[in-house]
Amino acid sequence: MNPYDPHFETIAIRTQTEKSHNREHSVPIYMTSSFTFESAEQARALFADEIEGNIYTRFSNPNNDEFIEKMCLLEGTEDGVATASGMAAMFVSMAAFLQSGDHILASRALFGSTHQIITQILPRWGITYTYLDASSPMEEWERHIRPNTKMIFIETPSNPALEIIDIESLAKIANKYGVILNVDNCFATPYIQTPAKLGAHLVTHSATKFIDGQGRTIGGAILGSKELIQTVRFFARHTGPAMSPFNGWILSKSLETLAVRMERHSQNALLLAYRLQNHPEVNWVKYPFLHSFPQYELAKKQMKLGGGLVTFEIKGGIERGRKFLNSLKMLSITANLGDTRTIATHPASTTHSKLTDAERKAVGITDGLIRISVGLENSQDIISDIERAIEKSKEDE
């Protein structure tokens, strides 16, 4: 980068792979599985890690490297690894460090597939876990750290209940016991929240969501210190969850508009939350920057904006929730989020349906909970479609 201290938007736009002899303004897509060597000695030195350079796209690629360089600069980390999907990032960030006999401490409010990794997959290899509520006091988190605890894994804000955990306080506990704090920063993105600057050791992303921002591709990222990422890179290099160069190119270009998109997502989401909080057919609304949000002060402390997700509970339970989705005209019904288009999801019957009733209730997912990923359309059009669907779902009862 230039010697001056650039702002977020400038870093996201101006960080690029070095130009080729063609003097391109926009970085080309390096769709190649392998790279040639100038000599046998260069090949030997590259494989011996004596010099840096590309060998094979499963290891590295200019497009993926550019994406990761931007993510590291934006998150404030030293190094990172790009993965084929967000779930690959979550799994690799755990599996690279955990072995039989280890213990992971995690917040109970996690994305459904992350929950399955921790409760169903890791135990196959003798890795145990303990769940705590996101609202648990820091003393409770510290009390549950065992001698064999190797990692603390949290989402903040969580999916879909938007629960928030004090990253800085938890990082102090992790440092005290020599435990890795791994934070899923998918919902906030580095524009809104930078966990590494608050003390997190690893920051993981599903780049499929707001990083891409247009519902086009999937990808993930694991970011942290050079020492930790060296371990991650070894694991990823030999297990193969590599990002496609095309996806790396898309995601790097997407970062150029992340700031302006997150500003609009957050603005629209706050307007929707304001409108719904007094609706007679809504029991409650959760949005981090609503004054009524239980963790409002913490949200303001560690987040720049409230983000693009709003959750609310529609009266009438699971059937009313389904009727609400079926009554929407403009909003998309899909399991994704972070798109330019506003998306409605009913977690109890879709993304978190594999959880038992008790497990869903434990993470704040009630039968009538609706998750709205607020897009970039006109805010009044978004609000009108949601309000019409609420009324229509009541008429159909």
DSSP string, 201-248: SEEEEETTTTTT-SS----EEEEE-HHHHHHHHHHHHHH--PPPHHHH
Domain shared by 161 and 25, yes or no: yes
- Give the whole-angstrom CA distance, residue 240 versus residue 247: 16
Of 225, 255, 285, which one is at a domain's C-terminal end? 255
pLDDT surpasses 80 at 4: no
Contact 89, 138 (CB under 8 A): no
Q: How confident is the model at residue 163 (pLDDT cuts 50, 70, 90)?
A: very high
Residue 247 CB neighbour total at 10 angstroms: 25
Domain shared by 272 and 249, yes or no: no
- Looking up residue 331, the CATH number of its domain turns out to be 3.90.1150.10
Report residue 139 as tokens: 């003393």
Domain shared by 112 and 234, yes or no: yes
Domain shared by 237 and 281, yes or no: no
pLDDT surpasses 90 at 394: no
Average pLDDT over residues 147-151: 98
Domain shared by 249 and 324, yes or no: no
Report the chain's mean pLDDT, rounded to a whole number.
Answer: 94
pLDDT digits (tens, 9 = 90+) for 81-120: 999 999 999 999 999 999 999 999 999 989 889 999 999 9
The answer, yes or no, to whether the previous bond of 190 is cis (omega within 30 of 0) is no
Domain shared by 224 and 342, yes or no: no
pLDDT surpasses 70 at 3: no
Domain shared by 218 and 312, yes or no: no
Q: How confident is the model at residue 364 (pLDDT cuts 50, 70, 90)?
A: confident
Q: How confident is the model at residue 363 (pLDDT cuts 50, 70, 90)?
A: confident
pLDDT value of position 260:
98
- Give the whole-angstrom CA distance, residue 205 versus residue 183: 9
pLDDT value of position 397:
59
In a domain, 53, yes or no: no
Average pLDDT over residues 25-40: 94
Domain shared by 346 and 386, yes or no: yes
Domain shared by 230 and 289, yes or no: no
Q: Global pTM?
A: 0.94
Domain shared by 280 and 359, yes or no: yes
Of 233, 255, 277, which one is at a domain's C-terminal end? 255
- CA nearest to 114, candidates 192, 201, 212, 187: 187
Of 206, 224, 255, which one is at a domain's C-terminal end? 255
pLDDT digits (tens, 9 = 90+) for 222-270: 999 999 999 999 999 999 999 999 999 999 999 999 999 999 999 999 9
Residue ranges making up the domain that contains 162: 8-30+61-255
With a pLDDT cut of 90, the percent of the chain lying above it is: 85
In a domain, 130, yes or no: yes
pLDDT value of position 365:
83
In a domain, 1, yes or no: no
Long-range contacts of 114-118 (CB under 8 A, 24+ apart): 114/87, 114/90, 114/153, 114/155, 114/184, 115/355, 115/359, 116/354, 117/87, 117/90, 117/91, 118/94, 118/153
Domain shared by 142 and 291, yes or no: no
DSSP lists the bridge partners of residue 108 as none
In sign, the C-alpha dihedral spanning 27, 33, 39, 43 is positive
pLDDT surpasses 60 at 200: yes
In a domain, 97, yes or no: yes
Domain shared by 306 and 248, yes or no: no
pLDDT value of position 112:
82
- Looking up residue 12, the CATH number of its domain turns out to be 3.40.640.10
- Give the whole-angstrom CA distance, residue 82 versus residue 146: 31
Contact 182, 224 (CB under 8 A): no
Number of domains within the chain: 2
